[in-house]
Amino acid sequence: MDSFAIGAKLLLLLLSLVVHGESKGCDIFQGSWVHDETYPLYDASTDCPFIEKQFDCQKNGRPDKDYLKYRWQPTGCNLPRFNGRDFLLRHQGKSILFVGDSLSLNQWQSLTCMLHKAVPESKYQLTRVGDLSTFTFLGFNTQVMFSRKPFLVDLVKTSAGRVLKLGSTESGALWKDKDVLIFNTWHWWLHSGRKQEWDYIEDGSRTMRDMNRLVAFEKALNTWAKWVDTNIDPTKTKVFYQGVSPDHTNATSWGHSNATKDCREETQPFIGHKYRRGSPAAELVVEKVISNMSKPVHLLGVTMLSQLRKDAHPSIYGGVGGHMEADCSHWCLAGVPDTWNQLLYATLNDNKCDIFQGKWVYDPKYPLYNASNCPFIEQEFDCRKNGRPDNMYLKYRWKPTSCKLPRFRGGVFLERFRGKRILFVGDSISLNQWQSLTCMLHLAVPKAKYTLIRTGGLSTFSFPAHNVSVMFSRNAFLVDIVGEKSGRVLKLNSISSGDLWKTADVLIFDSWHWWLHTGRKQPSSDWGDRNAKNCIGETRPVMGRSYPGGRHPEEAIVENVVRKLSKKVRLLNVTTLSQLRKDGHPSAYGYGGPRATDCSHWCLPGVPDTWNQLLYAVLFPYSN
């Protein structure tokens, strides 16, 4: 089996396709700041008597107020206004714990102010024991807690000095059994001199004075990730990562020529959708670590929206250090952390889950169709017709960890895409998915006429009654491969066939399967069976949520490229769920028979049907 033959699917939704008016239908972390006279959400001096002095910029003498009057506006939807009473009712009898550094304190303080503003008549209790602060709304029995843990891993005092242990999270016992966890770390990793909190760093068996801070940060974050994967039950606890809060200590990062200038005297945010400096390296590390986790963690991507707010720091009005030292790291309250909590509120109330994380479960109602009901199915995918004797591989359904995957409704699909064109572009794995979708749609309207036309590398399956075309264009590398006198040339910087792509309403791209065609195969040891040679004889999936062989580096490349695109591309992250299906390949029952074992493509019905269910769920997020 090719090492990444499963492939990662890319879904490009064109603007003409569908627009959603709520937070579910857009990326609520992408947008701009707009002036709004109804803001702020509360007055720190009157609505929040327990506010920390360092965050109450108005009380500390800040003369301007315009920074209080900005609201975050996502690009394609509206962010629901924070409803504190609703928040408390939803979390009645529950505990919410912020774990991290003083930026976590900043967000925790913001949330307590916002909730108290909503229920000013409700009694509360604020206790501080060591590094743990607990704010309890007694009438709701709701606890909002903050645990100071600036590195997430352990910092211990020894006879030699303070040791930062990158591989240890013994204090994680406090994190267990909470209903909501919001983690954060980064701010303190860059401190040096008197502000540095450790004397030594312990990395495995090595102890050293210092090391590359970004490398140390990633090691610590992986230790935290391992703790979450080992200890968290996603059905009981929702886990968030706050994201990387930026500072504005160097004005060159936002285009100013003076490197000594900081956030002092800044009174206006950046107007627009982008920040000149781009993403900090720590943010990419966070995304990388979270993407490798087996348990769902929701990333509150607050970095970019916070980067735009150079005006919102305490500056010299932080109350700590007087007017001598500017605080360009933390945030005034009311202010930016209130928006972080609005985003937290929107995410908590959003019933979405990561539909790509889960496991395969036996379901006797499967498959979704019989290959005999699909008269145009390619011979190479019709494993039963080719003599495959077992049928258990047909009886598995993908079950996301925290929600249900909507059942595919072909009639709804065709109605929604009336007059539209759906185009798969890629290799034979794309052909596999295209073939699956045509079968699933034909099953939904078996009496509807259809046409199937193949011209060169383009196959077009049309439903005339709906004026819907589902097409497949073979372009195994996405870039051009041309025949020249000297031979076939793969042109990495050329896409002459892209004109066809412009005509589609939905584009699903795929490439990787053919890039390794020199013979490298994926060994059976990847799924933990050292006795098997390949997928021959495999009749059961790998049970559980994680694949013993882990992720492939190529998957990270796809994610990195997609992340940097200026236009929105949705990643259909089918890799892990497909890795678990060692039983789903044609094996000896494909096009070439026993002489050409196929452990790359997929039997139909089979795994690609699930890919299309996921496509359906992404296209129609409100489907029941």
For the segment 317-351, what is each residue's pLDDT rounded down to a tens digit? 997 655 568 999 999 999 999 999 999 999 988 75
Question: Largest Cα–Cα distance of the chain, in whole Å?
Answer: 83
Q: At what angle do helices 281-291 and 553-564 cross, to 10 degrees?
A: 130
Question: Does 522 score more than 70 pLDDT?
Answer: no
Q: How far apart are CA 44 and CA 140, in angstroms?
A: 23
**Residue 532 tokens, joined:** 């098997």
Show Cβ contacts of residue 373 under 8 Å, excluding neighbours closer than 6 positions.
439, 442, 443, 446
Confidence of residue 528 (pLDDT cuts 50, 70, 90): low
Nearest CA-CA partner of 508 in 565, 577, 429, 586: 429
Q: Where are the beta strands (DSSP E) in 316-365?
A: 358-362
The owner of tokens 């993403």 is: 279
Q: Using the structure block, give the residue that is written with the tokens 């490009």.
A: 12
**Of residues 395, 376, 545, the one with CA closest to residue 453:** 376
Q: How confident is the model at residue 574 (pLDDT cuts 50, 70, 90)?
A: very high
According to DSSP, residue 315 is labeled B
Kindly state the tokens that stand for 119: 């229920």
205: Cβ contacts below 8 Å, ≥ 6 apart: none
Question: Which among 331, 353, 189 is positioned nearest to 266, based on CA atoms?
Answer: 331
Asked if pLDDT for residue 536 goes beyond 50, the answer is: yes
Residue with token string 């409704």: 409
At 220, which helix (H) or strand (E)?
helix 213-231
Omega into 251 within 30° of 0, i.e. cis? no
Report how many helices (DSSP H) and strands (DSSP E) the chain contains, helices first. Answer: 13, 24
- CA–CA dist 22, 140 (Å, integer): 28
Amino acid at 422: I
81 pLDDT band, cuts 50/70/90, is: confident
User: Could you tell me if 82 and 342 are in contact, meaning their C-beta atoms sit under 8 angstroms apart?
Assistant: yes
Angle at CA of residue 85, ends 83 and 91, nearest 5°: 105
Distance CA 233, CA 175 (A): 12
Q: How far apart are CA 193 and CA 201, in angstroms?
A: 15
Task: State how far the Cα of 239 lies from the Cα of 289, in Å rounded to an integer.
Answer: 14
Q: Are 98 and 69 in contact (CB under 8 A)?
A: no
For every residue of 526-537, DSSP letters joined together read GGT-SS--SSTT
CA dist., res. 598 & res. 595, Å (int): 9
> The dihedral of CA 385, 390, 395, 397: what is its sign?
negative
Q: Is the dihedral of CA 305, 310, 312, 318 positive or negative?
A: positive
- Which letter does DSSP use for residue 258 in this model? -
pLDDT band at 205; cut points 50, 70, 90: very high
Domain residue ranges in the chain? 9-18+358-432+509-619, 36-348
Q: From residue 357, how far is each of 286, 320, 332, 547 by CA, in Å? A: 18, 45, 37, 12
Higher confidence at residue 519 or residue 166?
166
Q: State the Rg of the chain over Cα.
A: 27
Q: How far apart are CA 359 and CA 235, in angstroms?
A: 14
CB atoms within 10 A of CB 18: 15
Tokens of 252: 């060159």
**pLDDT digit string (tens) for 192-203?**
888 888 999 999
37 to 62, 65, 67, 150, 334: CA distances (angstroms): 19, 11, 11, 36, 14
Task: Read off the pLDDT of residues 347-380 as tens digits, 9 standing for 90 and up.
Answer: 988 755 688 989 999 999 999 999 999 999 999 9
The pLDDT score that the predictor gives to residue 273 is: 74
> Percent of the chain at pLDDT above 70?
89
What are the two backbone dihedrals, phi and then psi, of residue 396, each rounded to the nearest 5 degrees? -115, 135
User: Sorting pLDDT into bands at 50, 70 and 90, what band is 260?
Assistant: low
Mean pLDDT of 510-539: 68
**Measuring CA to CA, which residue among 65, 131, 56 is closest to residue 100?**
131
Q: Is the peptide bond before 40 cis (omega within 30 degrees of 0)?
A: yes
Q: Which of 139, 149, 154 is nearest to 93 (CA)?
A: 139
Catalytic residues: 102, 327, 330
